[in-house]
Amino acid sequence: MAPTRDAIRTTVEDYVRSVAKGTVDDVLALYAPGATVEDPVGTPVRTTEAELREFYGVIEPMTQTGEVLELKIAENNAAFLFRLVTHLGEQDLVMEVVDVMTFDEEARISSMKAYWSQEDMKTVPAS
């Protein structure tokens, strides 16, 4: 049985919030056992908890904000555009990413693919 739309929406919002301001454990708690991450698409797929922990560990110490800009849900899948702003003192690094996720029955992420490239990163004066 597919999770509810509200449950998926909550997971997506928790994901963006956790990536921006949470810990590695906060992010990993949203994933189902055996989940896969391809971020960005075209890079090796991460398949183990250790790989996911290493990947998300890089962003944990950063000062960031994030927001979901657009969200589409179909059955146990979601595609969403979100903005992540990394605050670097006098400058901010702004990145808009499209993530595509599948979810298990409990609305935990079973797969994630992130669509972005270096061209999607913009440096702007700090806000």
**Is there a catalytic annotation at residue 14?**
no
**Is there a catalytic annotation at residue 104?**
no
- How many angstroms separate the CA atoms of 84 and 92, rounded? 10
- Alpha carbon 101 to its chain centroid, in Å, reads 9
Query: Is the CB of residue 89 less than 8 Å from the CB of residue 65?
Result: no
Which is catalytic among the residues 15, 56, 92, 99?
A: 15
E-assigned strand segments in the chain: 31-38, 64-74, 77-88, 91-103, 109-115, 121-125
Tell me if residue 5 falls in helix, strand or coil.
Answer: helix
Which is catalytic among the residues 6, 26, 39, 120?
A: 39
Query: Which of the residues are catalytic?
Result: 15, 39
